[in-house]
Amino acid sequence: MTGPLARIDPLALSLATLPAMVLLIFTRDVTTPAAFLAAGLLLAVVSGASWRRLAVVALAAAGLVTIVTAALLPWVDESRASRSAGEVALATGLRLAAILVLAWLPALAGHTGRGLVRSLVRNARLPYRWGYAGLAAGRLVPGARAELELARAVRRSRGAATSGRPWSPLRRLTEPVVPVLAGQIRRAERAALALESRGFGAYPRRTEPDDRPLGLGDLVFVALGWLVTVGLLILCRR
């Protein structure tokens, strides 16, 4: 990614949008979440993400608003609400969509979980044992998916994937559990041995190849994000 937001630290991106995401939880009108959703989509376009990613984000936001509004509409009691049921349901869908788009901004800008963990360790003084342990746990999910696909491929190669017995679908769901679990245990053991051989946890701090603190541009971006949040709130309250 070569967009302007790619040069901003991922922690700064998260801090700039965090107050907006927190305030959106407590808003009840339609205008405020709609304004923040529009601002989030504008930042997504500026982030330099590919048009395919932008289309996925826009469709996900529109789908979330539609599904939440349609799901909540029959359950809203207008006698207890100061607005109509449609406004209440639509406001809830817009709030969730706006929070989702704002939370996706670091990923759309090209940042990864590893970069965010590094920034948290360097700038927020997060213990690196916690940060990298959480990052390693998150990487177990793609490994489990690969193990599951391998177990299913082995079953298909042996001709055991298709069977006419009534309980065959249930067996196909439960049989890969043991090999997938065994593969994840082996993967965790290898990761633990690799960390121990490199002295992980032996020292209070770790050296990093890209140990960059928050710069002036990052702090200015955070301040601008907070100012825009306050400005949008003031405009939507008029």
Tokens 């969509």 -> residue:
97
pLDDT, the chain, mean? 82
Q: Which two tokens stand for residue 148?
A: 């599951």
Taking 60 as the threshold, does the pLDDT of residue 214 lie above it? yes
Q: Does residue 102 carry a pLDDT above 90?
A: yes
Most confident region among 51-55, 121-125, 137-141 by mean pLDDT: 51-55
Residue 1, pLDDT above cutoff 60 = no
Alpha helices, DSSP H, located in the chain: 10-26, 31-46, 51-72, 85-103, 105-108, 113-123, 128-138, 140-157, 168-174, 177-197, 216-237
Confidence of residue 62 (pLDDT cuts 50, 70, 90): very high
CA 58 from centroid of its chain's CA atoms: 15
Q: Is residue 228 a contact partner of residue 39, using CB atoms and an 8 Å limit? A: yes
Spatial separation of the C-alpha atoms in residues 142 and 38, rounded to whole Å: 33
Structure tokens at 204: 């209070």
Q: Which residues contact 191 (CB under 8 A, 6 or more apart)?
A: 136
Tens of pLDDT along 137-196? Answer: 777 777 778 878 887 777 777 665 555 555 556 666 677 777 788 888 888 888 888 877
Kindly tell me if the per-residue pLDDT of 95 is higher than 90. yes
pLDDT higher than 80, residue 96? yes
Q: How far is CA 112 from CA 1, 27, 90, 119, in A?
A: 11, 30, 32, 11
Cα(97)–Cα(34) distance, rounded to whole angstroms? Answer: 9
CA distance 10 to 168: 47
Residue 205 pLDDT exceeds 80 = no
pLDDT of residue 177: 78
Residue 149: count other Cβ atoms within 10 Å of its Cβ.
Answer: 12
Q: What is the pLDDT of residue 81?
A: 66
Q: Taking the model in full, what pTM does it have?
A: 0.77
DSSP conformation letters of 42-94: HHHHHTT--HHHHHHHHHHHHHHHHHHHHHHGGG--TTTSSS-HHHHHHHHHH
